[in-house]
């Protein structure tokens, strides 16, 4: 059994790394993918493709995690995990061999990404549960620390790997050409296939399964449909609607949000009435579980959108201001995000090991406080910062996230009965993934609205300074300010947006040909960055303040978790390093467990 627990840890760590890495690897590599498929990213019809490539993976995983976790408790966690590895690898292979081109090929990538996400949901939902089954309570923090490095660190590594692969030229051998964009998806294929074979060969069922349980069909349908409607509506809220820069006033978005919330409320009602609910609401009576999942949700809401905004800051503003061409920015944005990975690698395993000895509350809460402080310090950075300032803050924030992730995950999984670990793992992962999707919508709405309010003035000033006169000045200012979403994503996609804007403006009646010196100045990499900088910086400051406030709230929730509670030890009345929280247990049948404890320090 000693050797088996390390087999579980190594395989689930590989699975979590691959699944989370593929969630972000396309973020920086999108320019190469669009160019490779001959898709113009600045066309209005391309923006839904962009959104689904960015967000579709997270929508599917968030929707399926609770269902998969519950089914894993019933049918076997190793079985469902192994199936997930196989589905994930199949989706990766389809992404690599996508035979189409143009918009058809791009939508095919979206579909294959969704298949990949189905497999990822099986991996995410079962990794923590398999580790909790395999490791004794006194070692789970260490195991979770390593696994959480793969889970959260993989999303950061994906940024760097995507940037590096995006800079590799097309490969030519034996008369064949392997385009760069296919390399981005190829990286998961051999590792995924090897991991699948290894999982089927080595992982075995050790979980406790209760007989004669029924599938909660009504709960599954209401939850999956409701969450899908909610997240899809949130995604389309980022698209322009009519004269508005966002789609929050669209009747389709509002209707989808209302229907999604209504179905989720129906789901909660259903779960209190069925004998074998898919979502164990009674787990939230365990203070350690409730506080841990709520704090994780706060952390995801704060972190999810900020990762992408930091990449946009690098690619669209800072790197062009420092002389990098738009073609180079994907690679260097990934490289310059590396300090955050280093911080997470520094603090993650250590905090997990320490939480096994001293409990999770102090470490997890301190981690959230540190992360909140870095968000507030980001507000003070000038847009054209000195890199050592940004690098130091990224490292410290990575440390804060690492300090929180492992102790919190171990505390959540330690607090539930063995037969409910799949459900608990799925619920935790669902809240984290849903928080990331909601985070993207919140932060991009803040930035897009901020740009729409201030972009016209800053663009007009930059164009006038560059020597653009009337009527060209009014025409170009109108093009830039009318589409803040396109302005934001144009720089993010590694293309110089001014080329597209000038081409469109040249077709406008009344346009006068610009002198070569003026057009050359407009096409310089730093011009567009300077033009949007004032509006972008003010909007970015609001986003950082929001992220800091949500993270601080997560720290308060984490501090309220009470003393450490370990289900097995409480049920068996064994001592733990700290007193168990009074009346915070659940029996295998779902009822309260009487625990022995010293007075808690709540």
| pLDDT value, residue 210 | 60
Per DSSP, 178 falls in state E
Average pLDDT, the chain: 84
Strands 585-586 and 176-178: unpaired
Helical spans, DSSP H, in 471-524: 472-482, 484-492, 497-505, 516-523
Give residues with Cβ within 8 angstroms of 44, minimum separation 6: none
pTM (2 d.p.): 0.81
Its CATH class, for the domain covering 2-206+278-450+535-559, is mainly alpha
pLDDT bucket at 599, cuts 50 / 70 / 90: very low
- In degrees and rounded to multiples of 5, residue 492 shows phi and psi of -65, -30
**Total residue count of the chain as it appears in this document:** 602
Q: What is the C-alpha separation between 207 and 361, in angstroms, rounded? A: 27
| The predicted structure's pLDDT at residue 492 | 64
Lookup: tokens for 576: 């733990």
> Which among 320, 368, 379, 385 has a CA at the least distance from the CA of 529?
320
State the Cα–Cα distance between residues 360 and 210, nearest whole angstrom.
30
CA 288 to CA 423: how far, in whole Å? 16
Share of the chain above pLDDT 70, in %: 90
Which pLDDT score is estimated for 94? 95
Q: What are phi and psi of 176, to 5 degrees?
A: -110, 155
**Would you place residue 586 in the very low, low, confident or very high pLDDT band (cuts 50, 70, 90)?**
very low
Peptide bond into 471 cis (omega under 30): yes
pLDDT tens-digit profile of 322-380?
988 877 777 788 789 889 888 988 888 888 888 888 889 999 999 999 999 999 999 99
Please report which confidence band the pLDDT of residue 381 belongs to, taking 50, 70 and 90 as the band edges. Answer: very high
- Kindly give the residue spans of alpha helices, DSSP state H, lying in 313-337: 319-321, 329-336
Mean pLDDT, residues 129-147: 84
Higher pLDDT, 210 or 41: 41
Q: What pLDDT score was predicted for residue 575?
A: 44
**What pLDDT is recorded for position 2?**
63
The predicted model gives 140-164 an average pLDDT of 77
Q: Cα separation of 8 and 3, whole Å?
A: 9
Report yes or no: 395 and 343 within 8 Å, Cβ to Cβ.
Answer: yes
Burial of 511 (0-12, 13-18, 19+ CB in 10 A): middle
Q: From its phi and psi, is residue 575 left (phi > 0), alpha (psi between -120 and 50) or beta?
A: beta
How far is it, in rounded angstroms, from Cα 492 to Cα 28?
8
Residue 571's contacts (CB-CB under 8 Å, 6 or more residues apart) are: 585, 587, 593
45-72: burial string, b at 16+ Cβ within 10 Å, e else:
ebbebbbbbbbbbbbbbbbbbbbbbbbb
Strand partners, 302: none
Backbone angles phi, psi at 126, to 5 degrees: -110, -15
**pLDDT single digits (tens) 11-34:** 998 998 888 888 778 877 787 888
Q: How much is the pLDDT for 545?
A: 94
State the Cα–Cα distance between residues 117 and 424, nearest whole angstrom: 20
pLDDT digits (tens, 9 = 90+) for 73-104: 888 889 999 999 999 999 999 999 999 999 99
pLDDT range class, residue 582, cuts 50, 70, 90: very low
**Contacts of residue 150, Cβ cutoff 8 Å, sequence gap at least 6:** 13, 14, 16, 17, 20
Domain-wise residue ranges, the chain: 2-206+278-450+535-559
pLDDT digits (tens, 9 = 90+) for 451-509: 888 888 888 899 999 999 888 899 888 888 877 776 666 666 666 778 878 888 888 88
Report the C-alpha gap between 593 and 103 in whole angstroms. 57
**Residue range 544-565: mean pLDDT, rounded:** 92
Residues 6+ apart with CB under 8 A from 248: 237, 241, 254, 445
CA 519, CA 499: separation in Å to the nearest integer?
10
| pLDDT computed for residue 493 by the predictor | 65
Outline where 495-597 has alpha helix (H): 497-505, 516-523, 525-559, 567-571
């Amino acid at each position: 059994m000693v050797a088996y627990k390390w087999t579980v840890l190594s395989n689930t760590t590989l699975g979590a790394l691959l699944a989370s890495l593929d969630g972000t690897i396309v973020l920086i590599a999108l320019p190469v993918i669009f160019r490779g498929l001959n898709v113009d990213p600045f066309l209005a019809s391309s923006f839904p493709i962009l959104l689904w490539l960015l967000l579709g993976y997270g929508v599917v995983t968030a929707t399926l995690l609770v269902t998969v976790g519950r089914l894993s408790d019933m049918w076997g966690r190793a079985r469902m995990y192994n199936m997930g590895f196989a589905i994930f690898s199949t989706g990766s292979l389809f992404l690599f061999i996508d035979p189409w081109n143009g918009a058809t090929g791009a939508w095919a990538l979206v579909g294959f990404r969704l298949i990949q996400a189905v497999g990822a949901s099986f991996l995410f939902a079962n990794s923590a549960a398999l580790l909790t089954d395999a490791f004794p309570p006194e070692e789970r923090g260490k195991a979770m620390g390593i696994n959480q490095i793969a889970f959260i660190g993989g999303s950061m590594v994906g940024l760097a790997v995507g940037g590096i692969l995006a800079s590799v030229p097309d490969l030519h051998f034996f008369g064949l050409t392997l385009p760069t964009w296919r390399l981005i998806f190829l990286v998961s294929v051999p590792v995924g296939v090897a991991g699948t074979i290894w999982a089927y060969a080595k992982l075995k069922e050790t979980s406790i399964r209760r007989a004669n349980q029924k599938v909660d069909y009504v709960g599954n349908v209401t939850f999956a449909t409701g969450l899908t409607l909610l997240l899809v509506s949130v995604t389309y809220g980022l698209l322009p609607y009519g004269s508005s820069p966002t789609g929050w006033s669209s009747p389709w978005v509002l209707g989808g949000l209302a229907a999604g919330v209504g179905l989720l409320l129906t789901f909660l009602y259903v779960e209190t009435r069925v004998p074998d609910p898919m979502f164990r609401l009674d787990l939230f009576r365990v203070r350690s579980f409730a506080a841990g999942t709520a704090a994780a949700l706060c952390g995801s809401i704060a972190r999810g959108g900020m990762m992408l905004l930091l990449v946009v800051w690098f690619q669209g503003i800072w790197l062009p201001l420092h002389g990098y061409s738009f073609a180079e920015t994907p690679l260097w944005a990934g490289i310059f995000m590396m300090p955050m990975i280093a911080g997470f690698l520094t603090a993650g395993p250590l905090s997990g090991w320490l939480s096994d000895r001293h409990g999770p509350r102090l470490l997890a809460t301190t981690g959230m406080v540190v992360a909140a402080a870095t968000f507030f310090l980001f507000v003070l950075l000038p847009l054209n910062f000195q890199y050592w300032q940004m690098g130091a803050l990224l490292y410290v924030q990575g440390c804060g996230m690492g300090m929180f992730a492992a102790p919190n995950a171990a505390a959540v999984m330690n607090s539930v009965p063995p037969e409910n670990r799949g459900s608990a793992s799925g619920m935790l992962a669902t809240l984290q993934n849903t928080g990331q999707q909601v985070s993207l919508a919140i932060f991009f709405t803040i930035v897009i609205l901020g740009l729409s309010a201030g972009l016209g003035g800053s663009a007009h000033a930059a164009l006038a300074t560059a020597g653009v006169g009337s009527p060209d000045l009014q025409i170009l200012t109108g093009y830039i300010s009318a589409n803040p979403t396109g302005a934001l994503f144009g720089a993010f996609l590694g293309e110089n947006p001014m080329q597209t804007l000038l081409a469109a403006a040249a077709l406008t009646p009344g346009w006068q040909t610009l002198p070569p010196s003026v057009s050359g100045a407009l096409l310089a990499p730093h011009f567009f960055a300077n033009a949007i900088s004032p509006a972008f910086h003010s909007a970015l400051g609001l986003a950082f303040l929001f992220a800091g406030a949500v993270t601080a709230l997560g720290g308060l929730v984490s501090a309220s978790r009470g003393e450490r509670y370990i289900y097995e030890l409480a049920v068996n009345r064994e001592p733990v390093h700290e007193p168990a929280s009074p009346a915070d247990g659940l029996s295998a049948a779902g009822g309260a467990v009487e625990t022995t404890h010293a007075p808690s320090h709540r």
